[in-house]
Structure 1
């Protein structure tokens, strides 16, 4: 496709979607895939399969930009990064291989219900209980599960891993930066075969709009994550997770 022939008016809505989703993801450590898929399918009428393809391609670039930005802002816990990386990759690769034999449409609503409950818990915790930071204990199994759900269910690494690490009492800024950084490697592992099949041409058009908006927002999200107070961050995580997950449940069961 000739990039010079792309209609800017056609691209602008996709740029806006990519920017908004990555701004939330970079600041809160979750929800790029969930928000982007929701807006593309529910608001813009993009077929679900096409939306998922575009999101995975774009995430290869946005997670790289976000990870570098969090590294520069000092938001990454190296020990946590290493403990999440290999289990996350293992779960993601396993999920990608098993995707064809799983009915993700049946499993996803139950995962989203669980995430809605986590979101409400974090919202209440942020409102009434100043967080007491503790060292997270359950990490490797969490990375394995998060990677698997991300590949098999079309998203879930950030919501599953970030929310559970926050519940364990880990530092929100370090959690957000570290989870975002590991996601880059996870996305590459899960998407490698898919990118090979669709070719580079799909980066043009609507996917280019998502990519432009997402990459532009990534450094801003990292900056916000470093400066926003802990209590508002927990409240925002709860709100974003609850709303996006609840809407996903509605679309899956009632939409």
Structure 2
């Protein structure tokens, strides 16, 4: 077993713990590792999404077992999520996704700040039922183009609008399996899939972490977790933004 493969397994495990517990950042975390190792953007996104087919499937089953999924929310996000992922993967196969990464990161940075602020406010919990179709379309499109973003965009938006943390995370994780499957099929038809060692490593690490992530979603307190989500999104987005603008080497 090579040292690189172990790194991929560890990266997949950590990424899935974060994603399973907070509903976001598997793609962002795993993509950051691959980009730092010199893998091209289109290959990064296709590889991460291929691995996520395994990890998100396990995560969806785990969230279902712990009762974290809202059937209505799942149904409303499913179809637009699949469509947006397919379109995003097709676009990335012919366009440089790095060009729009600063804009994605800036949006996520703002969303992270919003959710931190809302964590310290008292607002009545409610089921979010409006603007779900455009949210899922945009979230899955940017996820496919940027190599990650479905969770930070969709789960963060739902939580910041008052949706239950537990059901937002569980439902978004469940739909994510179909989002990643849609993107992976499109990538396979357009550019093919390679780097199987990377896919296997990320997938193995994610499979091992999926049940633990789902368990943490049900057990961890709501308000502190909102702060964790917000800080995580701000840090990852700020890093990506600074790197895209050429300032990351200063730090």
Using the TM superposition, give the Cα deviation of residue 228 of structure 1 relative to its aligned residue in structure 2, in angstroms.
0.6
Kept in 2: contact 1:102–1:152 (CA 8 A)? no
Q: Distance in 1 between matches of 2:32 and 2:136?
A: 24
Q: In the alignment, which residue of structure 1 is the partner of 2:18? A: 24
Gap regions ≥5 residues in structure 1: 1-6
Q: In the alignment, which residue of structure 2 is the partner of 1:161? A: 154
Using the TM superposition, give the Cα deviation of residue 195 of structure 1 relative to its aligned residue in structure 2, in angstroms.
3.6
Q: Distance in 2 between matches of 1:11 and 1:151?
A: 24
1:33 equivalenced with 2:31 (yes/no): no
Aligned residues: 245
Using the TM superposition, give the Cα deviation of residue 78 of structure 1 relative to its aligned residue in structure 2, in angstroms.
0.1
Q: Distance in 1 between matches of 2:97 and 2:43?
A: 16
- Counterpart pick for 1:216 among 184, 208, 220: 208
Q: Structure 2-normalised TM-score?
A: 0.90
RMSD across aligned C-alpha pairs, in angstroms? Answer: 1.9
Q: In the alignment, which residue of structure 2 is the partner of 1:253? A: 245
Q: Per-residue displacement from partner, 1:97-126 (whole Å, max 9, x unpaired)?
A: 333454422222111111111101212222
Structure 1 residues 210 and 97, CA gap change in structure 2 (3 angstroms): closer
Q: In the alignment, which residue of structure 1 is the partner of 2:164? A: 171
Q: Distance in 2 between matches of 1:206 and 1:87?
A: 29
Q: Distance in 1 between matches of 2:117 and 2:46?
A: 35
1:63 equivalenced with 2:56 (yes/no): yes
Match of 1:76, SS state, is coil
Match of 2:138, SS state, is helix
Structure 1 residues 61 and 11, CA gap change in structure 2 (3 angstroms): same
161-170 vs 71-80, which moves further: 161-170
Gap regions ≥5 residues in structure 2: none
Using the TM superposition, give the Cα deviation of residue 11 of structure 1 relative to its aligned residue in structure 2, in angstroms.
2.0
Q: Distance in 2 between matches of 1:227 and 1:47?
A: 38
Q: Per-residue displacement from partner, 1:121-150 (whole Å, max 9, x unpaired)?
A: 212222x22442112122111111112212
- Counterpart pick for 2:83 among 64, 78, 90: 90
Q: Distance in 2 between matches of 1:189 and 1:162?
A: 19
Q: Distance in 2 between matches of 1:240 and 1:130?
A: 21
- Counterpart pick for 1:77 among 60, 70, 86: 70
99-108 vs 225-234, which moves further: 99-108
Kept in 1: contact 2:45–2:146 (CA 8 A)? no
Q: Distance in 1 between matches of 2:201 and 2:123?
A: 38
Kept in 1: contact 2:90–2:186 (CA 8 A)? no
